């Protein structure tokens, strides 16, 4: 697989994880109250949010590492 494709794929992966992390914080009218004190789409927020942001950070670190390598 070409290097530019891998760099783009890691960026897309990081963007997907960030989007999923933001979805966990969306407020809803019903459901259990999360630890932040409001009803959200995911009752495990903010822990699920952090659990999704960690792989996003790892994907970005991997992307920066691949970009820093010589061709």
Tens digit of each residue's pLDDT (9 = 90 or more) over 11-65: 999 999 999 999 999 999 988 899 999 999 999 999 999 999 999 999 999 999 9
Cβ-based neighbours of 21, under 8 Å, separated by 6 or more: 48, 49, 50, 52, 53, 56
Q: Which residues of 21-56 are buried (b: 16+ CB within 10 A; e: fewer)?
A: beebbeeeeeeeebeeeeebebeebbebbeebbebb
Judge whether residue 71 has pLDDT over 80.
no
Q: Which pLDDT belongs to residue 23? A: 95
Q: Which pLDDT belongs to residue 45? A: 92
**pTM of this structure:** 0.90
Q: Which pLDDT belongs to residue 19? A: 98
């Amino acid at each position: 697989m070409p290097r530019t494709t891998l760099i783009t794929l890691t960026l897309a992966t990081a963007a997907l994880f960030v989007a999923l992390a933001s979805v966990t914080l969306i407020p809803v009218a019903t459901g259990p109250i999360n630890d932040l004190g409001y009803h959200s789409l995911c009752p495990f927020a903010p822990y699920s949010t952090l659990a999704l942001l960690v792989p996003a950070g790892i994907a970005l670190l991997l992307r920066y590492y691949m970009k820093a390598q010589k061709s």
